[in-house]
Structures are given as C-alpha cells and as structure tokens.
Amino acid sequence: MLKFIADRQIYDKVICELIPRTKRFLWLATADLKDLHVHKSGRMVPFLEILSDLIEKQIEIRLLHAKEPGPAFRRDFDKYPNLIKGMERILCPRVHLKSVIIDGRLVYTGSANLTGAGMGAKTDTRRNFEAAIITDKNDIVAAVMEQFDSIWRGEYCRQCQRKKYCADYKDILLK
C-alpha cells in the first residue's frame, strides 16, 4: 500500500485510526510539538492521553522533536505520569522531519507537525494545508526508520554546528 493523504485525512487516518492500533512500538518525529487535542470516546483529550494509553499496553514510544513544547503541553504532560518513564524523548534542534513509524511495518511521512493545525481535530478553516504518504512498502518503511534511528543514535551529533542548543547532546555522546 502507498497512499497519499492530505489535510483532515491525516488526522482521521494517522491520529484516530493507526496510532491507537499500535501493537509494539511507535516512533514520532516532529519539528514542532504543541498541545494537540483529539477525539476519544466522544470527548476531546490531549494526544498525550492516547500516548499514555499505549504505554499502559506496554508499547514503546520514542519522540524526536526540535524544541521544547509550550506551557499548555507541559501542564498536560504532567497529568500522565507514566509518560515520564514510558516515553523516550530526544530534543534535537535540527529535526525538521515529520514521521510516524508504527511497529516497523507502517510509516506516515509528510509535512504535518504534531500540532492542532497540523494533525489535530481543527475545522477545515483552522487547519494548515498538509500532505503526506502512508505506506507499508518495506523499502520506504526501512528508509524512514533508518533516518529516524540515525538521528536517535546521535550519528550527527559530533559534527553538528548547533550543539550549544541541544539539551540532549551530552547524554547522546555518553551512550
């Protein structure tokens, strides 16, 4: 399967359908990270609640992002204490990719950040214009996973020109 999706389809397919069905691991990469709210059981909840639910099911979550999220995100994060130990996170100021990798078998890659205007449940008149592909094609899944994992492993850290802005740089080099 190789499918093009855009705008509201991204929210419906990735956030509402695919992510909650994750069985083993979920890798998320985004440049911008905000207090995204989504539909769950007839109410709006922070996307962090969906991630917390996955952690309760023993699903491993990795999050790569470029900058610290705002105060609303941090307040919601504190409502889900299992995220602190259950979700690995690396902040890298060079991250600009937007990817969702589910169980090493399915990939979303596109333009939408993990924000309400990008992937959220906002109305059509309050959303960004976004585009993406979703695929289970092995070569594409492997390539997106390798890009994510190369950043995660810190392969670019030693030569990075932005080390002074990277909170996780020293931790990566010590691994």
pLDDT digits (tens, 9 = 90+) for 19-46: 999 999 999 999 999 989 999 999 999 9
Mean pLDDT, residues 78-94 taken together: 94
Mean residue pLDDT of the chain comes to 92
The CATH code for residues 2-174 is 3.30.870.10
Residue 112, token pair as written in the block: 């939408």
Looking at residue 147, its amino acid is Q
Which is more confidently placed, 64 or 175?
64
Tokens 């008149």 sit on residue: 125
Element of type H or E holding 132? strand 131-135
pLDDT number for residue 120: 82
pLDDT at 169 over 80: no
d(Cα 126, Cα 107) in Å, to the nearest integer? Answer: 26
| Contact call for residues 34 and 70 (beta carbons, < 8 A) | yes
Q: Are 30 and 94 in contact (CB under 8 A)?
A: no
| Predicted confidence band of residue 114 (pLDDT cuts 50, 70, 90) | very high
Residue count of the chain, please give it: 175
Number of neighbouring beta carbons within 10 Å of residue 106: 18
Note the pLDDT of residue 168: 64
The pLDDT score that the predictor gives to residue 10 is 95
Domain ranges (residues) in the chain: 2-174
What pLDDT, on the 0 to 100 scale, is given for residue 1? 95
Using pLDDT thresholds of 50, 70 and 90, give the confidence band for residue 159: confident
**pLDDT confidence of 172, banded at 50, 70, 90?**
low
